[in-house]
Amino acid sequence: MKNFLRQLRPALIALAILTVICGGVYPLVVTAVGQVAFNDEAEGSLIKVDGVVVGSELIGQQFVSPQYFHPRPSAAGAGYDSGASSGSNLGPRNPALLDAVAERVAEYRTENGLSNDVLVPVDAVTASASGLDPHISIANARLQASRVADVRGLDVALVLQMIGDHTDDRNLLVLGDPGVNVLELNLALDRLTS
């Protein structure tokens, strides 16, 4: 028994020290660094209009009105529900996914006045892995530009320029593809036409 207690003591001391370091010191240091060096990101990259939070740069929102650029479909809950973030989990040959994509392609073409021979970008008809992606591809945004310009009474060239102005580069210059933040672009259009 004495041998057991002698071995137990260092184990309990190590447990206490690691609990303090990993459960207290480390989280406090990471939080402090995040608040000081990356304050906007640590606070959720919130977007405010007239002092009111209208969204985040990091989480997509549903836009359905024709004067707005539309995001990619969301499989998160009822759509863009950050508490239910997930993809659809349907495989590429699943009939339910194929039917949903075919329906979305037809809706996208009708909504944007496109002929049947125009290729629809994949991000316009499929959800992202999280279901919360705030970006659409440049091709998707360009195909929606005519609709948005017509409804808002703007020149298409101006809308295309705004797409370019609201295109984010690749992450770390090499990861992913450039994308257009839908919320930021729609807010810029609202500022322009209000």
Same domain, 14 and 64: no
Predicted TM-score (pTM) of this structure? 0.80
Model confidence over 35-91: pLDDT tens digits? 999 888 888 788 888 889 888 888 888 899 999 999 998 877 777 777 777 777 788
| Co-location of 147 and 56 in the same domain | yes
Return all residues near 59 (Cβ < 8 A) that are at least 6 apart. Answer: 80, 82, 132, 134
Please give the Cα distance from 83 to 75 (Å, whole number). Answer: 12
Q: How many domains does the chain have?
A: 2
Whether residue 69 contacts residue 182, with contact meaning beta carbons closer than 8 Å, is answered with yes
Domain match, 52 and 27 both:
no
The secondary structure element, H or E, covering residue 55 is strand 52-56
User: In terms of residue numbers, what domain contains 26?
Assistant: 2-39
> Residue 180 forms beta bridges with which residues?
136, 167
